[in-house]
Amino acid sequence: MTSGGDSPGMNAAIRAVVRTAIFSGLDVFGIYRGYEGMIDNQIEQLYSSSVSNIVQRGGTVLKTARSKRFMEYNGRLQAYNNLREHNIDALVAIGGNGTFTGASIFDREFDFPIIGLPGTIDNDLYGTDATIGYDTAVNTVVEAADKIRDTANSHERLFFIEVMGRDAGFIALRSGIACGAEFILVPETTTYIDNFTRLLKHDWRKSKTSGIVIVAEGDDSGGAYEIAKQVKERLPEMDARVTILGHIQRGGSPSGFDRVLASTLGYIAVKGLLGGHRGEMAGIVNKEVVFTPFEKAIKHHKDINKEMLEMSRILAL
């Protein structure tokens, strides 16, 4: 099952789960539309051929959804009855925070073994260095920012580019470093508008005639439009523009990194279930497979590397 926001590489993970399970002598079922499909019994047996030619495709062939009904006991009970009806006795749930919160409650209520795979572009899960889709999303941002840089240069403009990440700044930080952003604004640090405009002014006086500011959507400045408005009020001479990258960050063919990560974790998920793991997310930390209890994966935020933030600023001076 894939659930929550889709991310590039989910298909590679589905393929790995299906084929590893079949190789291990198991029957495999796909649940469509996440927990919604579990409640509505949208469950079908999958075969090796069901997952042919998908390793390179973005999105998820199982579709996905965010389910309000699964937050209620009656929804979960209905879902449990459907799983029993199909003789399903373990689940691989590919998703993020919401998916694992639901999985954790479901396991406690119905004693149901579940392994989670980190499928989200946000990279906001503890217990894995990277989530499936994060690398591709960063590459998408970098490609877009490079294009914006061309026009920013030609017109001598300042661009505020807003990127996804919910309340985490991982996409912003990594893509900002890669595209040489002048500033990166993330929720993990406070943005002081007066300080920010002072630095901008200083940069422009010294050498800059154009620039890129990567703004994480969860930044406390209120997002790219808000910060651009405040900068224009203070520095009316600056020709500023805003680009919200939005859902293009969630689509596209997964990078090689994401395909390998997803394939490895899909394989590990089945092996883990067969080896008695449950209630945990499979991840890779320092090249090692790690199983992290759902509660920890959700609640213990990975820290953003503040030194990388400082580095990005030094390198852009």
Task: Count Cβ neighbours within 10 Å for each residue of 203-223 and write b for 16 or more, e otherwise.
Answer: bbeeeeebbbbbbbbbbebeb
| Amino acid letter for position 135 | D
Subset of residues 35 to 94 that bind ligand F6P, contact rule: CB under 6 A: none
Contact of 104 with 292, CB cutoff 8 Å: no
* Cβ at position 249, least distance to ligand F6P in Å: 7
Q: Does 166 bind ligand F6P (CB under 6 A)?
A: yes
- What residues form DSSP beta bridges with 283? 290
Q: How far apart are CA 134 and CA 125, in angstroms?
A: 11
Q: Which is nearer to ligand F6P, 174 or 278 (CB)?
A: 174
| Active-site hit among 122, 124, 135, 219 | 122
Which residue in this structure is represented by tokens 């946000």? 122
Q: Does 5 bind ligand F6P (CB under 6 A)?
A: yes
Contact of 225 with 232, CB cutoff 8 Å: no
CB atoms within 10 A of CB 64: 25
Q: Which is nearer to ligand F6P, 22 or 244 (CB)?
A: 244
Binding mask 209-248 for ligand F6P (x = CB under 6 A): --------x-------------------------------
Report the residue from 18, 93, 121, 231 that binds ligand F6P according to the rule CB under 6 A.
121
Q: How far apart are CA 302 and CA 167, in angstroms?
A: 12
Q: How far apart are CA 228 and CA 71, in angstroms?
A: 38
Task: Answer yes or no: 122 catalytic.
Answer: yes
Q: Which is nearer to ligand F6P, 30 or 96 (CB)?
A: 96
Q: Does 120 bind ligand F6P (CB under 6 A)?
A: yes
* Cβ at position 52, least distance to ligand F6P in Å: 28
Q: How far apart are CA 51 and CA 288, in angstroms?
A: 27
The counts of H helices and E strands in the chain are 11, 10
* Cβ at position 13, least distance to ligand F6P in Å: 16
Q: Does 174 bind ligand F6P (CB under 6 A)?
A: no
Q: Site for ligand F6P (CB under 6 A): how many residues? A: 10
Single out the segment in contact with ligand F6P by CB under 6 A; choices: 116-124, 153-161, 189-197, 303-311: 116-124
Q: Which is nearer to ligand F6P, 166 or 234 (CB)?
A: 166
Three-state SS at 183: strand
Q: Which is nearer to ligand F6P, 133 or 279 (CB)?
A: 133
What is the helix (H) or strand (E) element at residue 250, kind and residue range?
none
Residues that bind ligand F6P (CB under 6 A): 5, 96, 120-122, 164-166, 217, 250
List the catalytic residues: 122
